[in-house]
A and B are shown apart, each in its own frame.
Chain A
Amino acid sequence: MSTSRLYDSELGELQRRLVVLRVGLLLVVALLALRLWHLQIREGPYYRDLSENNRTRSVILEPARGLIYDRNGVLLANNVPSFSLYVSLEDVKDREALIEQLSELIGIDAELVRKKLAVRGAKQLPRKIKDRLTLKEATLIESHRLDLPGVMVQVESRRNYLGGVAASHVLGYVGEVSAEQLDKPEFAELHQGSIVGQYGVEKFFDQNVRGMAGQKSIEVDALGHEKRTVQVEQPHAGDDLYLTIDARLQKVAEDLLGQESGAIVALDPTKGDILAMASRPAFDPNVLSRELTPKQWVEIVQDEGRPLNNRASQGQYPPGSTFKVMMAAAALESKTVTPASTVFCNGGYQFGRRVYHDWKATGHGSVDLRKALIHSCDVYFYTVGQRMGIDTMASFAHQFGLGEETGVELPSERIGIVPSTEWKQRVKREPWLPGETISAAIGQGYVTVTPLQMASLIGTVANDGVTYRPRLVRAIMDRTTGQLQELAPVPKTKLNVKPETLKLIREALAGVVTEGTGGRAKSSIVTIGGKTGTAQTAALRTGPEKDIPKKFRDHAWFVAFAPVDNPKIAVAVLAEHMGHGGSAAAPLAKEVIETFVKVSAKSGGTADVSLTQSQAAHAGVR
């Protein structure tokens, strides 16, 4: 026998011990089953959610911004396709390595990417890193997709301003919503990378134009690459705007200013529609809507010409003699003078120990109100101003909308200064000096106004004392309903001035053009009423105009309306450092008015053109 007894007992012993293995096996398998029960049954739903999150990603579908048209349906701003670069944080394992890869591939600024990835927001939402990728950049990224988990290139629409610099201050520009903006309630529904209006109408009407972002849920694989679309919530395009601007008039106004600094505002006094609002120097909103480097930004902001400044609504200048339009009304209404009362002008006005000079050293002789306006006699208004006092002057100025917001739909409108005793005490903490009243009476001293205020003022005079709120948008095309909603003009105030006073002033202003200082505004095709102004910028000047360095020269003003008997347009022209209003500003106003008359004749009246059905229908098709 090969098996001994001992051997048998050894085998038996071994085989008895196998019981331990059986028990152990059952125990361990029971524990495994318990663990799996815990994972799959007790925590199953939790892990199910995790696996869903793992595989689905949200992609934001940016809405197309509403289009912007001029009053006649001429397209001013639209959208063109563009590639944007997004990064989905969930899929990025090593952020720094990714940033390095990206900057190597497309030369993107690493610091900027870091900042963008750090912006607050839901983790599932991808971050927009760069827009306006070139085709080459987009191709480069797509071809390196496997090495760039979490990186997506999306086609989006970006803003395009067809006219470049044209009407740039009115249209404004767009840009990515900033981190600070995101914290404000009005941007609550937005997210990092959203495009919002940052200036002009784009900013003021952003809520209408911006639309609603959609979202797409996609299933991705472990590298974050899209496998299929799970659910789509389409974006809603923003509403279209129809401006009050007439592109033809706008172009003429801008060309008239050319390389010079200044502003031209033309409006329809019967509705408040701003037909043209030019401000020069201008900027190209296509450039500003792009992502600018800090250096580029500083260059634009620190540009001496201050191109970002909308001189029409934000430029504050002494009104000079254009102020006399308001002064004339104030003088009659406050019964300081009658139309017939005269003042003798010998070229100077003695007040205390100081002599205030008239612009015409030899004087105008005996002048009444009409003649004082026509020849812009300073001494007459020195006298009148001195008689009525600064506070009466201020209260009439406010009635005419000076020192007040016009209410135009532009962000950061400035209101200028209408000085009064109360104002000086409050702001300067000094008492009013009587001599200061004399400067104020001819629109100098502390008085400042914006060209828009002056356009509105002359429009009020032209429109029998009724002021309409100047407006830039005449209709909004609602994208969801397809309805074109015409906005009603808003009458703002009615002057407490007798109609015959305004009529007298209008006649005098017509005289300014036919026989006075505004002769250069005389037109052969339309009757124009207007007032020149020359705003002094430096206190003391000697020698002829051409010897003075340009930056110390006077600003030239001209405010006008036409036709005289049934005014349809009011214009304010301000040309910085161009000298006399009569020579530098009046011809510009004439040109704008004549253009207005011509285009109105062609299209049957620009102020009254209704949008045709075809234009509205065309707008519906992007």
Chain B
Amino acid sequence: MIDRMMDRRGLDNFDLRFLGLIGAILGLGVLSIYSVTHDQGGPGLPFFAKQMVWILLGAVAFLVMLIWDYHRIARLAYPAYAIILILLAVVLFEGKTSRGAQRWIPIGPFAFQPSEFAKLVLILVMAHYYSKAPRVGWLQRVVIPGALMLPGLLLILKQPDLGSGLSFMAVYAAMLLMVGMRSQALGVILLFSLMLFPFAWEVMWGSLHDYQRQRIMAFVDPNYDPGGKGYHALQSRIAIGAGELTGKGLYGGTQSQLKFLPEGHTDFVFSVFAEEWGFLGVLVLLLLFVALIWLSLEIATRAKDELGALLAVGVISMLCFCVVVNIGMTAGMFPIVGIPLPLMSYGGSATIMTMASLGLLLNVKRRRLSLFY
């Protein structure tokens, strides 16, 4: 059919900017990972090299998600969700344990993290559902999609992986707000309160005693901070703050170089970046993210059909959520939950999944012109 033809023209200006932003953020990520881990020995490839392998695989995933018509991809949503649910169940029984949580399925020398891919699959499922379902009444708008999401969420929380679970809920909530709610006012209020949640949380969280926080955190995520007593949070704040205006320079971040800040190459890669490049570097990074999301919003706004718009909204909300919560937690505005910084944190599953999502976004954009023959 004509309207499903691929736009065969070459990359336009928009595409180049989009790809450029992704490449820039990925590059900063690799640089930070290299800075933290360059003097770490150990068998196999160094972290930054492995991350580059992940980026290459991510590029393949990006192309795959770009080449296939997103309508065809969306049709695979339910089977894909079934597979993911099975994998999540497998993780619980067979998974590799790290930091007390079972999140990984070992594949040869690598570990595959199904919960990351579950996010993308959830976006597909939600978009597919909303674009097909008649959406009349609470049941179809809220309850059924909620029920669709629930098994995945429960399996993820069981690992436990609070970060992925929260991202899962954020995707659901964002898409619900975009299409599920009739009342604009309610939607706006909900959305704002969602976005203001970190600050409300900080006030509430700040009023608690340390031991109360520890109990709460021990309840929701018992193994995230085994050294305990807010050590990670404090070291991360110190790292960011010590960056001051211009930063300590590449390799100059003593917090991460001397291992005061744990997980410098994964969840706390932002702190490493902030320590070494300072407030100016941080502003640049934030601008890169905002620009990327801005372009994504552009795609959503100009999507030719609802499925495309919904997919775009799903990817955008997931990206936004991860960026905001990750930076918020490293800056001490939010309790520490295991959410990686998209495109920057070291990790194969997250990098590949994020790049695949972005490929899907570009897919939506590239096909919108075909509507007009």
A-side residues, CB < 8 A to B, are 2-3, 7, 10-11, 14-15, 17-18, 20-22, 24-29, 31-33, 35-37, 39-41, 43-48, 50-52, 54-55, 93, 219-223, 227
Contacts and interface: CB of A to CB of B under 8 A. Distances in A.
A54 B244 contact: no
Contact of B278 (A14, A40, A221): A40
B195 A47 contact: no
A55 B297 contact: no
25 contacts: A7-B306, A11-B303, A11-B305, A14-B178, A14-B306, A15-B300, A21-B297, A24-B191, A24-B192, A28-B324, A29-B286, A32-B324, A35-B328, A36-B286, A39-B331, A40-B245, A43-B241, A47-B238, A47-B240, A48-B244, A50-B238, A50-B242, A219-B254, A219-B258, A221-B260
Contact of B279 (A14, A28, A37, A55): A37
A31 B199 CA distance: 9
B241 A48 contact: yes
Ranked nearest first, the 8 interchain pairs of A and B with the lowest CB-CB distance are: A47-B241, A44-B244, A51-B242, A222-B259, A40-B279, A221-B258, A39-B241, A48-B242
Interface of B: 3, 174, 177-179, 184, 187-188, 191-192, 195, 198-199, 227, 235, 237-245, 254-255, 258-260, 262, 274-275, 278-279, 282-283, 286, 289-290, 293-294, 297, 300-301, 303, 305-306, 309-310, 313, 316-317, 320, 324, 327-328, 331-333
Nearest to B290: A29
A26 B192 CA distance: 12
Nearest to A46: B241
Contacts of A41: 244-245, 279
A15 B278 contact: no
A244 B214 CA distance: 68
A274 B1 CA distance: 118
B245 A44 contact: yes
A329 to B, nearest CB: 78
A93 B227 contact: yes
Contacts of A3: 305
A315 to B, nearest CB: 59
Contact of B179 (A14, A43, A52): A14
Given A25-B297, A28-B198, A39-B237, 16 more contacts: A15-B309, A17-B187, A25-B294, A26-B290, A28-B195, A29-B289, A32-B328, A35-B333, A39-B240, A40-B241, A44-B244, A47-B237, A47-B241, A48-B244, A50-B242, A54-B235
Given A47-B242, A221-B258, A32 B286 contact: yes
Contacts of B294: 22, 25
Contact of B303 (A15, A21, A40, A219): A15
Contact of A10 (B188, B306, B320): B306
Contacts, number: 151
Nearest to B202: A35
Contacts of A37: 279
Contacts of B333: 32, 35
Nearest to B283: A33
Contacts of A21: 174, 191, 297, 313, 316-317, 320
Contacts of B282: 33, 36, 40
Contacts of B274: 36, 40
Contact of A40 (B187, B243, B293, B301): B243
Contacts of B240: 36, 39-40, 47
Contacts of B258: 54-55, 219-222, 227
Given A29-B290, A32-B327, A223-B259, A22 B297 contact: yes
Contact of B195 (A15, A24, A43): A24
Contacts of B179: 10, 14
A93 B225 CA distance: 14
Contacts of A221: 258-260
Pick the most buried of A17, A40, A55: most chain B CB atoms within 10 A of its CB.
A40
A52 B259 CA distance: 13
A55 B255 CA distance: 8
Given A24-B192, A47-B241, A18 B313 contact: yes
A46 B278 CA distance: 14
A402 B303 CA distance: 113
Given A24-B192, A39-B331, A47-B241, A54 B309 contact: no
Contact of B255 (A39, A44, A54): A54
A54 B238 contact: yes
A389 B47 CA distance: 100
Contacts of A219: 254, 258
Pick the most buried of B3, B235, B241, B328: most chain A CB atoms within 10 A of its CB.
B241
B273 to A, nearest CB: 11
Given A25-B293, A36-B240, A48-B244, A20 B306 contact: no
Contact of A15 (B184, B192, B293, B301): B301
A55 B244 contact: no
Given A3-B305, A14-B313, A36-B274, A25 B290 contact: yes
Contacts of B317: 21
A39 B301 CA distance: 35
Given A14-B178, A15-B309, A25-B290, A20 B188 contact: yes
Contacts of B237: 39, 47
Nearest to A32: B327
Nearest to A22: B297
Given A15-B300, A18-B300, A54 B254 contact: yes
A36 B259 contact: no
